[in-house]
Amino acid sequence: MFTLLFFVLFFMVFGKMIGFAFRATWGLTKILFSVVFLPLILIGLVFGGLLYIAFPVLLVVGLVSLIANA
């Protein structure tokens, strides 16, 4: 009986910890992509001569960020 209770409580506690880890990882991934990878991709597009692709991407991301903050 105690073994069953132990396993139920064990999975409740560590299940919540795994859920927290996934939420934290998702938050860090969003920050990493928005702060590091997007600017690097845009700079790479400009240096590669693809300004006609980089500028609309920059405008769309800028408008989305303005709408998301409002």
Task: Kindly report the pTM of this predicted structure.
Answer: 0.59
**2-61 per-position pLDDT tens digit:** 888 888 888 888 888 888 888 889 888 988 888 889 899 999 999 998 999 999 999 998
pLDDT at 59: 92
d(C-alpha 28, C-alpha 56), whole Å:
26
C-alpha 50: how far from its chain's center? 26
Domain ranges of the chain: 2-69
Distance of alpha carbon 28 from alpha carbon 25, whole angstroms: 5
Could you give the angle at the alpha carbon of 58 between the alpha carbons of 54 and 62, nearest 5°? 175
pLDDT at 15: 84
The answer to whether residue 70 scores a pLDDT higher than 70 is no
Asked if 57 and 44 touch (Cβ cutoff 8 Å), the reply is: no
